Amino acid sequence: MSRAPLKLGCIADDFTGATDLANNLVRAGMRVVQTIGVPSEPLAADVDAVVVALKSRTIAPADAVAQSLDALAWLQAQGAKQFYFKYCSTFDSTAQGNIGPVAEALMDALGTDFTIATPAFPDNKRTVFKGYLFAGEGLLNESGMQNHPLTPMTDPNLVRVLQAQTKRRVGLIDYSVVAQGADAVRARIAALRAEGVGLAVVDAISNADLLRMGPALAELPLLTAGSGVAIALPANFGLAPSPQAAALPAAQGLQAVVSGSCSVATNQQVAHFIASGRPARAIDPLQLAGGPEASARVVADALAWAQPLLASGPVLVYSTAEPAAVKAIQDQLGVAEAGALVEHTVAAIARGLVALGVRQLLVAGGETSGACVQALEISQMQIGPQIDPGVPWCHAASPVAPEAGLHLTLKSGNFGSVDFFSKAFGQLTTA
């Protein structure tokens, strides 16, 4: 099938982040497909952008670089000319990366000496000022992210954080420049390049800031950012918002939520769902310490509990816990083993729920979402309407839901209103 080359090729370091980015591009007028991993075949659909969702945020930096370069090569083969490396709006990464190493590898592959870095997403209260990242009303390291079980963030100074991960010099395009508009941003980029700066953190405290810097970004082969700056990019290609870009098939089937996130926001959402009187079942990670057999028993018990309840409305299965409880589990099992056990188990429960007839599935947590879409053997997702900033409904084909596929939403741990679990299902158009 003949189709136009891609306008924008995107690489995301986790699955919820990919959906978040695709959501903002769709809202601004781009037709978007999200792939789960690097596709093995060329695109069949005629779209403006593709977001390749990787699960590379917490793996070894060398592996993250290799996967990202594979994604870049595939996107180049589809004709993309500009590229976007998407990370979380909380800029979370291990001490070794992977933001810096992946950004530098993509720069080398594209032959460019400069790119920007901005996780700003004002719609979700992520703002950057003087190079410092704010989450809500406070600095990043006071937001709960300092307690993240895999990527704790204790320094809100993004220039300092990024410089520790890169060989290139890191600079700043501060608010006073951004406020003057695209020409001032272009001039600052030229000055930083002349000084030998390779990456520059960019301030933004509002969507207006993102839109002001947008035209200057059209000239860069590579952008690195959260999803916020995506709102400014479709206009660079002559595109405008269109409701048709977010249309999905009508929803049907049963409803369920699975949650593996331990973020502050998800803890509040779990508590709200339970307080609303809906059925919920907690998964204790210590019950999984016996290995595959123990995990299989937990999965079977959860599905047996859920089956008679599904006909009455959404159910919730969660491993979400407060930071102190998470630390106690990690101390006993180890950080990596505890995380892997929970992801595998929650993903198996998600697959089992779909096999029971769930066709509207909400997944909370970036790592959990990655495990769930892999368990459901989903390779591509059509991006639909937004539920909350950064979180859309999607539609996907899955061999576990062979007739008409399923609707799902992949929610980053820190995203969504307190009543997110309860209200999300009401926003779908049903058959």
Instruction: Confirm if 28 and 103 have CB atoms less than 8 A apart.
Output: no
Query: Could you report the per-residue pLDDT of 36-58, keeping only the tens digit for each?
Result: 999 987 775 788 999 999 989 98
Banded model confidence at residue 2, pLDDT cuts 50, 70, 90: low
Instruction: Say which residue, 127 or 41, is predicted with more confidence.
Output: 127
pLDDT at 292 (0 to 100) = 83
pLDDT at 44 (0 to 100) = 59
Query: Could you report the per-residue pLDDT of 113-123, keeping only the tens digit for each?
Result: 999 999 999 99
Q: Tell me whether strands 132-135 and 82-86 are parallel, antiparallel or unpaired.
A: unpaired
Share of the chain above pLDDT 90, in %: 71
Q: Which pTM does this prediction carry?
A: 0.80
Burial 70-83 (b: 16+ CB within 10 A, else e): ebbebbeeeebebb
Between helices 366-375 and 15-27, what is the axis angle to 10°?
Answer: 90
pLDDT beyond 90 at 261: no
pLDDT at 282 (0 to 100) = 93
Banded model confidence at residue 244, pLDDT cuts 50, 70, 90: confident
Query: Could you report the per-residue pLDDT of 381-425, keeping only the tens digit for each?
Result: 989 889 998 899 999 999 999 999 999 999 988 899 999 998 999
pLDDT at 327 (0 to 100) = 67
Side chain identity at residue 183, one-letter code: D
If DSSP codes are grouped into helix, strand and coil, which group holds residue 112?
Answer: coil
Q: Do you know the residue count of the chain?
A: 431
